[in-house]
Structure 1
Amino acid sequence: MRDQLEEAHRHSDDGYGRAQHLNKVELPKRFYKAVDVARLEDGYAVTLDGRQVRTPGHKLPIVVPALSIAQALAAEWAAQGEFIDPGTMPMVRLINSAVESGDEMVPAFRAEIGKFAGNDLLLYRADAPQELEAEQERHWDGALVALARHFDIAFQPTIGIIHQPQPATTLSKLDAALEGQGLLLLTALVSITGITGSGLLAIAYLHGLLTADAVWAAAHVDEDHQIRLWGEDEEAMDRRAKRRVEFDTAIAVVDALKG
């Protein structure tokens, strides 16, 4: 499922899809000295030697509504050494992806989150072993209860992987929970959904029903169970650490923009 969400961004020239191929591309040399944040009429922009940063593909000007996002962008630009490595710039990649997607992608991003929520990680339970069942209940039941109470909805969890349709009213209210959200915030929620495999966790975070750490723990119940059984794999843990950076970046955008 995570691959499906990444695919939604591959049309942009500097989204997550491109980031996966950075090791195949010669990195450009740093061409600027000074990095600043400028206040504009419609938000904040990062400047490099006084010139406003634009997206690498369509050369669209980047203006963000929150100072904290602009400061995070500026910090990533300032941290570059002799070469510019987008792999070390998660906020830049996320915002570039959003801007190059364009507002026309808002309905698609909202629908994608809803699609995950209707066939969500939290709704499909293991029937063994007992330890995994208990961990899923501990992390997932609380999230479902919080969502059910907040939105006055009901879920129908199931055992196994056979599709279990959710009530139409539940899906409708979950879709309404994303109503009015803009491109940047929805892009961040799509990222959280892709990383966690759960639209419900993304919606729960947006509405203050779970902390970021609780979302992360819930998303990794199965993986953590495997680690307890077989121990840590170095490559897998490195991938997980990189996902956490992307996750924290998306969380920062949601925190900056949610009402």
Structure 2
Amino acid sequence: MKRFWERVDVDAEGDGYIIRLDDKPMRLPGGDTLLIGQRPLAVAIADEWRSPPIGAPITPNHLPLTQLAATATFRIAPAPTDTATSIAAYARSDLLCYRAEEPPDLVQRQNAAWQPWLDWAAGRYDAMLAATRGLSLIDQNPNALAALARAVASHDAHGLAGLGVMVPIMGSLVLGLAVVEGALEADAAFQISVLDELFQEEHWGGDDEAAARRARAAQEVKMAARYVLLTRGSA
């Protein structure tokens, strides 16, 4: 698709807002008109459609907020339990629970960066997850898993859409919840999640491909966090 419209406007419509492209409602590929409940989010989505020059190609990469809003509205909202259950399952193998056995420097860094957020989850949700050394899967306390599942289910479709991006990328439900709860900035959460990778690069060197992949992932986490904030009227 190429940009053919000259004007992009945000108009009130019923209980929300729609984006108009040259006075015509913006429609998604399936033909649906996206009704956006919060004006700050509608303005940010309009900016996505306004950003490319006229005649320039537009790909899904140009429209991350639009995609998140469409996912929340048309896929998650009709059956939020399915998405919440899938997200909550990450607590069974949360990144923060699996520590290195060596070298000592890495062990120390993991303990310092990861344990405080397991402690935060224990205090915030009464959900203490156990940590181990090595990669063998351990059983977690069912009560802790249930508490974290309730925490996930307490979020609306927009929060679930944000978590659905952040949690798989970071491999940590705890970090994702900390971000959407406002306890941790998205950039900081992502850096915590790639601690092992950054440690290895310090000692063995990195490469451009890995750095580019990490930058893309960091941007996706940041955009998902921004989306959640916008749905709450800020960003």
TM-score, scaled to structure 2: 0.91
What residue is the counterpart of 1:36 in the other structure? Answer: 9
User: Given that residues 114 and 175 in structure 1 are in contact (C-alpha distance below 8 angstroms), is that contact kept between their aligned partners in structure 2?
Assistant: yes
Write the distance in 2 (CA, Å) between the matches of 1:85 and 1:35. Answer: 17
User: Given that residues 192 and 247 in structure 1 are in contact (C-alpha distance below 8 angstroms), is that contact kept between their aligned partners in structure 2?
Assistant: yes
Write the distance in 2 (CA, Å) between the matches of 1:128 and 1:64. Answer: 49
Of 20, 29, 44, which residue of structure 2 is paired with 1:72? 44
Whether 1:246 and 2:220 are equivalent positions in the alignment is yes
Of 23, 26, 38, which residue of structure 2 is paired with 1:53? 26
What residue is the counterpart of 1:138 in the other structure? Answer: 112
Q: CA deviation at 1:95?
A: 2.3
Q: Look up the SS of the partner of 2:188 in the other structure.
A: helix
Q: Look up the SS of the partner of 1:37 in the other structure.
A: strand
Whether 1:120 and 2:97 are equivalent positions in the alignment is no
Q: CA deviation at 1:103?
A: 2.2
Letter in 2 for 1:40: E
Q: CA deviation at 1:207?
A: 2.3
Q: CA deviation at 1:189?
A: 0.8
Number of aligned residue pairs: give it. Answer: 231
User: Given that residues 55 and 99 in structure 1 are in contact (C-alpha distance below 8 angstroms), is that contact kept between their aligned partners in structure 2?
Assistant: no
User: Given that residues 127 and 144 in structure 2 are in contact (C-alpha distance below 8 angstroms), is that contact kept between their aligned partners in structure 1?
Assistant: yes
Q: How does 1:3-14 map to 2 (within 5 A)?
A: none
Of 235, 241, 244, which residue of structure 1 is paired with 2:209? 235
User: Given that residues 9 and 46 in structure 2 are in contact (C-alpha distance below 8 angstroms), is that contact kept between their aligned partners in structure 1?
Assistant: yes
Write the distance in 2 (CA, Å) between the matches of 1:200 and 1:258. Answer: 21
Q: Look up the SS of the partner of 1:33 in the other structure.
A: coil
Q: How does 1:12-23 map to 2 (within 5 A)?
A: none
What residue is the counterpart of 2:81 in the other structure? Answer: 107
Letter in 1 for 2:38: A
Q: Deviations over 1:132-164 (max 9, x none)?
A: 111111110111111111122322111111111
Q: Deviations over 1:185-214 (max 9, x none)?
A: 211111011221111111122223322233
Q: Look up the SS of the partner of 1:104 in the other structure.
A: coil
Q: Deviations over 1:10-42 (max 9, x none)?
A: xxxxxxxxxxxxxxxxxx222211011112222
User: Given that residues 41 and 231 in structure 2 are in contact (C-alpha distance below 8 angstroms), is that contact kept between their aligned partners in structure 1?
Assistant: no
CA RMSD of aligned residues (A): 1.8
Consecutive unaligned residues of structure 1, counting only runs of 5 or more, are 1-27
TM-score, scaled to structure 1: 0.83
Change (3 A) 1:184 1:54: farther
User: Percent identity over the alignment?
Assistant: 31
Of 192, 195, 200, which residue of structure 2 is paired with 1:218? 192
Write the distance in 2 (CA, Å) between the matches of 1:152 and 1:99. Answer: 31
Change (3 A) 1:118 1:62: same
